[in-house]
Amino acid sequence: MTSAAEKTPYYITTAITYPNGEPHIGHAYEYIATDAMARFKRLDGYDVFFMTGTDEHGLKIAQSAQKAGVTPKEFVDRNAEIYRQTHAELGVSYDRFIRTTDADHYAAAQAIWKRMEANGDIYLDKYEGWYSVRDEAYYTEDETVVRDGVRYTKETDTEVTWTAEESYFFRLSAYQDRLVALYESQPEFGAPQYRFNEVISFVKRGLEDLSISRTTFDWGIPVPDAPGHVMYVWVDALTNYLTGVGFPDVDSEAFGKYWPADVHVIGKDISRFHAVYWPAFLMSAGLEVPKRVMIHGFLQNNGVKMSKSLGNVVAPRDFIGQYGLDQVRYFLLREVPFGADGSYNHEAIVGRMNADLANNLGNLAQRSLSMVAKNLDGVVPEPGELTDADRALLDAADGLLDAARAAFEKQEFSRGLEAIWGVLGDTNAYFAEQAPWVLRKTDPARMATVLYVTLEVLRIVSVLVQPVMPTSAGKLLDALGQAEGSARLFSALGTRLAPGTRLPAPSPVFPKYEEPAAEA
């Protein structure tokens, strides 16, 4: 037994969301993927710390609050609750839900600022430029276009206005070589490679110093010893990853254990902040940089960008209500290679639900478990001598743990699930070929062996799909007589299903999706 003290720490985070709109399926996608990763590592014996939360400062939030006729703090208190609720509905097993208005976060943001300042990387100057409130970022003139008398950014198509203010600057330009050296010495720092390459070329083109304070509004963390200045929201936001593990107390147990983070999971629109600014801030502050920034793509509704004006934004709650939580979690992680942009539509979801879940997994489990209930008094039989077919199938199932580890280690969830469903496909073929319902009359001992092998593959598969479908996999493991606890950890895959295990009466776990009957 490994005690908690000996477990390898694993620190994983999502981006922290701006709580100014309703949560949509794109946010849910990131939460679910990160949750699956955290659950995978816990089941694999790691000491996991998983953090998510909300990014509550900045002009955009202040303006939304004003529109809603409440103070910024009232606004974020109300909206952070909505996001917390979404996490609960999605079954997200976070260890901390951080809010950038938490008191310990103010201390952490001010501490990192002081460290960067002490290192000579912060200076006061004047800033002029095209500012996008939506992006909380300045753009150069050639990064913008004018349409119908209004100027927009080319990249994000958000409106910009000419803004001039006194501002503190971070000497980002001084970090170009160190960043390139980091990317070379830590080639897995950014992933997937094609998205990381964009970051690398951006840095190689040369970096300008970064404006990191604002004086035109006050909804932010005060810059230490600089009345009138609040921190640029991204300095504040990125620091959340340190706050969660005890910073500024770098001698704390949490910090020693969990920093540097193992992986920050983020979307492609914020890769620059995480793979360029963030490591530069950390180097300046004399802190280690994260091990990996995993950049996922964007989800589109039927190939169309989700937007309020198109009215095609799907709320996670509605999505889950229609298909079921585990079904949605499976679909999102199986359908789109993590990193790539993806699209969802009703037919694709129903296809996966019916073929992969109801048929390949659910039906196989129900048929084999019912046969054990009817013919073997609901007790896992002792297998007889194994045939080549039995051994080949068990070998393939035994190889799944390593295959899943290799895939999940790189957040390649779809690849891991594909391997598992490959073995399920083999198992269905095996079941049809061996035809235990025929053996029942001709060779009951052989029937028992075939059922044993089938249940054993189902046990291995159920243990491995827990990170993706916690509730359904739990029900399958109940049906296979595997109690909660050590029998469900990956370490339980080192032993075989125990003959003699008494199984409860089986009931179907994955119903087929039926189209609601058309209204008469």
Write out the residues near ligand ME8 by the rule CB under 6 A.
15-18, 26-27, 29-30, 55, 237-238, 240, 266-267, 269-270, 298-299, 306
Rounded to a whole number of angstroms, the minimum distance from the CB of residue 237 to ligand ME8 is: 4
Rounded to a whole number of angstroms, the minimum distance from the CB of residue 23 to ligand ME8 is: 9
CB 400 within 8 A of CB 423: yes
Taking the least distance from each CB to ligand ME8, the nearer of 266 and 451 is 266
Taking the least distance from each CB to ligand ME8, the nearer of 203 and 237 is 237
Rounded to a whole number of angstroms, the minimum distance from the CB of residue 109 to ligand ME8 is: 12
**Residues pairing with 264 in the sheet:** 13, 293
The type of residue at 217 is F
Residue nearest to ligand ME8 (CB): 267
**Cα 341 → chain centroid:** 15
Taking the least distance from each CB to ligand ME8, the nearer of 155 and 269 is 269
22-61: burial string, b at 16+ Cβ within 10 Å, e else: ebbbbbbbbbbbbbbbbbbbbbbebbbbbbbbbbbbbbbb
Per-residue tokens: 261: 């983070």
Rounded to a whole number of angstroms, the minimum distance from the CB of residue 70 to ligand ME8 is: 20
Going through 192-346 in order, the beta strands assigned E by DSSP cover 210-211, 213-214, 230-231, 263-267, 293-296, 299-301, 342-344
Query: Residue 404 and residue 40: Cα distance in Å, rounded?
Result: 9
Rounded to a whole number of angstroms, the minimum distance from the CB of residue 458 to ligand ME8 is: 33
Three-state SS string over 324-379 comes to CHHHHHHHHHHHCCECECEEECHHHHHHHHHHHHHHHHHHHHHHHHHHHHHHCCCE
Taking the least distance from each CB to ligand ME8, the nearer of 18 and 168 is 18
| H or E element, residue 381 | none
Name the residue among 471, 465, 483, 475 with its Cα closest to residue 507: 475
Rounded to a whole number of angstroms, the minimum distance from the CB of residue 158 to ligand ME8 is: 12
Rounded to a whole number of angstroms, the minimum distance from the CB of residue 244 to ligand ME8 is: 11
Rounded to a whole number of angstroms, the minimum distance from the CB of residue 264 to ligand ME8 is: 8
| Strand 47-54 versus strand 9-14 pairing type | parallel
Taking the least distance from each CB to ligand ME8, the nearer of 253 and 269 is 269
Rounded to a whole number of angstroms, the minimum distance from the CB of residue 52 to ligand ME8 is: 10
Taking the least distance from each CB to ligand ME8, the nearer of 238 and 453 is 238
Query: Residue 511 and residue 499: Cα distance in Å, rounded?
Result: 29
Taking the least distance from each CB to ligand ME8, the nearer of 77 and 398 is 77
Rounded to a whole number of angstroms, the minimum distance from the CB of residue 129 to ligand ME8 is: 20
Query: Residue 494 and residue 501: Cα distance in Å, rounded?
Result: 17
Taking the least distance from each CB to ligand ME8, the nearer of 306 and 340 is 306
Rounded to a whole number of angstroms, the minimum distance from the CB of residue 27 to ligand ME8 is: 5
Q: What is the DSSP letter of 308?
A: T
Residues with Cβ within 8 Å of residue 445, at least 6 apart in sequence: 384
Taking the least distance from each CB to ligand ME8, the nearer of 244 and 506 is 244
Dump the DSSP string for 282-301: HHHTT-PPPS-EEEE--EEE
**∠ CA(463), CA(468), CA(473), 5° rounding?**
40
Taking the least distance from each CB to ligand ME8, the nearer of 15 and 424 is 15
Taking the least distance from each CB to ligand ME8, the nearer of 299 and 333 is 299
CB 398 within 8 A of CB 463: no
Residue 267 dihedral angles phi and psi, to the nearest 5°: -90, 165
